[in-house]
A and B are shown apart, each in its own frame.
Chain A
């Protein structure tokens, strides 16, 4: 390992030849094919969809609609009508939260976890306040929990009152893979009516996802974390639930009939896609899915796993007791290496690495409740993807040693 044969498909490395990009958990780099597909749309058939009768409008509509089928196939949904395009996972989750809040029983409970990204936490917290719903948080330590204990927590937390259960598939701070299929099964045994919402943002570029197999009611992700463009995301929802949900936004393209007095709405997915969607971005997302299928999820996963293991082992060897590595003891993790150097603030470490073109994150990674729960003020997160190599990890560690020299022995 591990000179990635796919690295040359990412043009950023030809303009930034010293770049050591270890922040794919924030956003993945874009392959030439994705950029070219969007450029082609904007330069040769940049028309609106579903309206025009002229050739470029028909081509744009075809490309857009085929992207929905590509997403359906990627996550093994039953129908392309279960795929709603949004501007990102955050909008997907807001859509679900605001719409579902209107169809769940009054005084019922929305349950999430302390491990969730703010985007799968704050919308639920706020919607609960708006609609007089209860908001419960399962305090799970992802670094020490066993699968058995995790399932027990779900069993003990889900009650007849629970109407929504929001879970991460892969946690964004530590990259811990949650056994969501088993968790959903346990939740349904306690309450068959619970609506389960899965945040798959950190999973979609590494893990095979089958929404029917895991029996999720909703699953969301963003295009930009899976080699696609920013500004596009996906909300998957089961057909029968989407049919019961009211629209989230109103406008063109989502209506069936409008009179001065009233409006009737289209069926899903159109009902949830008011206005002109991000057409170029959806086309880019389709191309990103093609890239993932060309590389294969098996290769994406194993490449990330091997680099992660290489990094963890090299960090232990280089820093010994001077590094705190936040790796899960029992559950598996994927593509993320989270750590703090002894006596070095995460922001200083990230800054010194940044000064040397090594891109990592320092902070709470949009998971403040988790950092508070674990009493970690901030942490450093390095994350790997298909374009990274062992040389990237070696560079990263060489510059980390410099951080230690500059910052160490203080506080």
Chain B
């Protein structure tokens, strides 16, 4: 059973919310996974406690890029409190794949960046 299903690979090859040219961000952050060199920068705009815009730039493996794509898609329009409450189990549910311990850092890097961008506001 592969975790590289069609949905995941679609998000990897065609990431949603990648590119930050038009974002009028209120918060931003960068996160790095030194064990594999994956990097992500997240920018987001919060208005009245709601994430109204979110985007990212990243280099990384399929899991981290797809996670960034799926999570930013999920977070857009959500209230900040509920996004700050997201944890590993939620990322697994949103991505819809079984993530082994060795890949949890890859899947969680975008969430870490989103949380830090919210904290940077």
Contacts and interface: CB of A to CB of B under 8 A. Distances in A.
Interface of A: 345-348, 351-352, 355, 362-364, 368, 371, 377-378, 406-407, 409-411
7 contacts: A348-B4, A355-B2, A368-B34, A377-B37, A378-B37, A406-B2, A409-B13
Interface stretch (B58-66, B67-75, B76-84): B58-66
B62 A348 contact: yes
Contact of B62 (A345, A362, A368, A371): A345
Contacts of A377: 36-38
Contacts of A411: 59
B63 A364 contact: no
Contacts of B4: 348, 351-352, 406-407
B103 A347 contact: yes
Interface in B1-55: 1-4, 9, 12-13, 34-38
Contacts of B63: 347-348, 351
Given A363-B35, A364-B36, A347 B61 contact: yes
B113 interface: no
B106 interface: yes
B3 A347 contact: no
Interface residues of B, number: 19
B59 A351 contact: no
Contacts of B106: 347
A261 B108 CA distance: 54
B11 to A, nearest CB: 11
A347 B36 contact: yes
Nearest to A375: B37
A363 B103 CA distance: 11
A362 B105 CA distance: 14
The list of the 3 closest CB pairs from A to B, nearest first, reads A377-B37, A345-B61, A378-B36
Nearest to B36: A378
A348 B2 CA distance: 11
B100 to A, nearest CB: 8
For B12, B37, B103, the residue with the greatest tally of chain A CB atoms inside 10 Å of its CB is B37
A376 B63 CA distance: 19
A363 B61 CA distance: 11
A133 B56 CA distance: 44
Interface string B87-120: 0000000000000000100100000000000000
A123 B89 CA distance: 36
B36 A346 contact: yes
A170 B63 CA distance: 33
A355 B4 CA distance: 10
Contacts of B35: 363-364, 368, 378
A410 B103 contact: no
Given A347-B63, A348-B63, A363 B34 contact: no
Nearest to B12: A410
B103 to A, nearest CB: 7
Given A345-B61, A363-B35, A363-B36, A410 B3 contact: no
A377 B13 CA distance: 20
A355 B103 contact: no
A378 B1 CA distance: 25
Contacts of A347: 36, 61, 63, 103, 106
Contacts of A351: 3-4, 63, 103
A123 to B, nearest CB: 19
A403 to B, nearest CB: 9
Contact of A355 (B1, B12, B36, B60): B1
B37 to A, nearest CB: 2
Among B2, B13, B36, B38, find the residue whose CB has the most chain A CB atoms closer than 10 A.
B36
B34 to A, nearest CB: 7
A355 to B, nearest CB: 5
B36 A345 contact: yes
A407 B62 CA distance: 8
A378 B34 CA distance: 9
A352 B60 contact: no
B13 A410 contact: yes
Contacts of B60: 345
Nearest to B15: A410
Contact of B61 (A348, A364, A371, A406): A348
Nearest to B105: A347
